[in-house]
A and B are shown apart, each in its own frame.
Chain A
């Protein structure tokens, strides 16, 4: 690596060094309590998947360039040169970590592996060594924000074709739009994913609740966050923030997408609207009696729920899905005694978006998740995140788990009582 490249990468490293990050970089005592916390280590038993080992790759670069002893006497300062080899190690550490933060629950100092891996990911972006698929997807999202007028008409036509499916789930008054879009003054802006499965059930439930809602032109997922690029993350968020402000909505409801919800909730800053996960909104409708569901719809099938890490452990939405499930079944089996310690599905952090490239790793590293699901004896495995749903479906096929993997919002829509 030439000096100019290294200097540029170190500037990126420096940009991440706030007080919290320095604390994470300086407090690990290598006590080893995090060892069994990572699903990849617990499933595969390889040292490189221990959280502290991942930290150490970043930490040693930090010591080499940002600490006095590493600068003056690197050979005794546990310091590591920022080199091409180091970039390979950073890649391995960052893209085998799903950012689930289960290890943070065990760490006595609360060291946040996801934050430390964000340094690794930023250095990879700076070196153009990140997974190019994730950057391509982020740039596609940003382009949609820039060129909305070009896509608007065809998108509207595509959405119109879904309306009949929405009406099949919930009849609406003649003349009312089953999927309102671009409605100024609506109370709620729903930000879906690109697929019809993310739009049709949600639309039926909003209509059943009598919500004054409108569908976003943009998809919720933030590939900028997956690839760890703060500039792209912000540009993708801004498309939705600007749309919400333009339409003067009071609430932005994010579909079943963990990263989309967490980034919008925690990184959009102070805004004139609330941010909610669709699970929170559905629980609210049930509490207020705005929707009713038929419990017999899923009778005789035990149900378990996988808490998406970015929605539950990392954003606090834990009670709401259980409240919904109490309305859907009398046969709910918890997956973990404490949902905050639930195993990650193994598909987060952009790993699912990499598709078949890392399928083998995703399957091997999530064996503990499979064991956890099997132990519940459930026939229906429900969740509230697209990434988790894809990964759990892949695990279901790979390990022949024999469960029916469902989105929680689809179950609510399917059980609606007219």
Chain B
């Protein structure tokens, strides 16, 4: 969890094959209220391009991306 961002839901998507991380996040974001934040963990390097592209098309916002070892963490705010 990032110290400066209040997270409302954590999604563990590690090890999931393409395209499941984006599929799960697009469903998961609908389970939080507008303005709330989900923290998604993935090991899929393609997510570094997939998640920002999905956020642009869906109208949501990626607040921050962290990478520690193989795990990439996205902090995504539901905007719509």
Residues of chain A at the chain B interface (Cβ within 8 Å): 133, 136-137, 139-144, 147, 150-151, 154-155, 157-159, 161-162, 193-199, 217, 219, 221, 223, 353, 355, 386, 389-390
Contacts and interface: CB of A to CB of B under 8 A. Distances in A.
B10 interface: no
Contact of A143 (B17, B24, B53, B65): B53
A140 B17 contact: no
24 contacts: A133-B27, A136-B54, A136-B57, A137-B23, A139-B57, A140-B22, A140-B54, A147-B53, A150-B52, A151-B48, A154-B65, A155-B45, A155-B48, A158-B48, A161-B70, A162-B45, A193-B17, A193-B46, A194-B44, A194-B50, A195-B46, A196-B44, A197-B17, A355-B24
A141 B52 CA distance: 11
A137 B72 contact: no
Most B Cβ at <10 Å: residue of A141, A199, A223, A390: A141
B3 interface: no
Interface residues of B, number: 27
Contact of A221 (B19, B43, B48): B19
B8 to A, nearest CB: 22
A255 to B, nearest CB: 10
B11 interface: no
Given A154-B65, A157-B48, A162-B45, A194 B19 contact: yes
A144 B46 CA distance: 11
Interface in B24-80: 24, 26-27, 43-50, 52-54, 56-58, 65, 67, 70, 72
B26 A136 contact: yes
A194 B18 contact: yes
A390 B70 CA distance: 22
B64 to A, nearest CB: 12
B5 interface: no
A195 B44 CA distance: 5
Contacts of A193: 17-18, 46
B79 to A, nearest CB: 15
A130 to B, nearest CB: 15
Nearest to A196: B45
Nearest to A144: B53
Contacts of A143: 53-54, 56-57
B48 A154 contact: yes
A390 B17 contact: yes
B45 A158 contact: yes
Interface of B: 17-20, 22-24, 26-27, 43-50, 52-54, 56-58, 65, 67, 70, 72
B72 to A, nearest CB: 7
A407 B52 CA distance: 29
B18 A386 contact: yes
A171 B53 CA distance: 34
Contacts of B22: 136-137, 140
Nearest to A148: B49
A230 to B, nearest CB: 19
Contacts of A196: 43-45, 70
Given A158-B46, A199-B45, 19 more contacts: A133-B23, A133-B26, A136-B58, A137-B19, A139-B57, A140-B22, A155-B49, A158-B48, A159-B45, A161-B67, A161-B70, A162-B45, A195-B18, A195-B44, A195-B46, A196-B45, A196-B70, A219-B50, A223-B19
A197 B44 CA distance: 9
| A-B pairs with lowest CB-CB distance, top 6 | A194-B46, A158-B45, A151-B49, A143-B53, A194-B18, A158-B48
Nearest to A138: B57
B73 to A, nearest CB: 13
A386 B48 CA distance: 20
B19 to A, nearest CB: 5
Given A140-B57, A194-B46, A151 B52 contact: yes
B20 to A, nearest CB: 6
Given A133-B26, A140-B54, A195 B17 contact: yes
Contacts of B26: 133, 136
Contact of A158 (B18, B24, B56, B72): B72
Nearest to B69: A161
A196 B42 CA distance: 11
A215 to B, nearest CB: 11
B47 A194 contact: yes
Contacts of A157: 48, 67
A198 B57 contact: no
Contacts of B18: 193-195, 198, 219, 221, 386
A355 B17 CA distance: 11
